Amino acid sequence: MRQFEQVWTALVTPFHNQQIDFGSLKKLVRFQLDKSVSGFVISGTTAESPTLSMNEKKSIFEFVKGEVAGQVPLIVGTGTNSTSETVDATKKATAWGAEGILVVVPYYNKPPQRGLVQHFQQVARSTALPVLLYN
């Protein structure tokens, strides 16, 4: 299993005129690569993930994947407050070529401990990728 160590950047999603600003995103990625970042987290909560569509998330992932050209691994934030939506997003990120996923504790509905365990287990069973829990 891959070790996720060193410094990783949770990328923001830059916008211009209510559209993803891929020019600015490229500058962010290039700057981080020049500074020897170890990897990127795409579509985490820092990237406004709850407000991005799945198509936008995929576009961002594909763009960053093209920019890094295999230099560093990519983790995709797939967590939501819905287990089924998180599983669906996890399967998609796996198919896109993510090397790990980041799953946030379900927000708003705040399940008890046993519910959290069930949530994370279902997500983990949906992929062979490493699952990083985020609280």
- pLDDT tens-digit map of 69-104: 999 999 999 999 999 999 999 999 999 999 999 999
- Looking up tokens 């560093």, which residue turns up? 72
Residue 51 near residue 16, CB atoms below 8 Å: no
- What's the pLDDT score for residue 47? 84
| pTM beyond 0.85 | yes
- Euclidean distance between CA atoms 111 and 129, whole angstroms: 24
b/e string for 60-89 if b means 16 or more Cβ within 10 A? bbebbbebbeeebbbbbbbbbbebeebbeb
Give percent of the chain with pLDDT exceeding 70.
99
Tens digits of per-residue pLDDT, 97-129?
A: 999 999 999 888 888 999 999 999 999 999 999
What confidence score (pLDDT) does residue 99 get? 96
* % of the chain at pLDDT higher than 90: 82
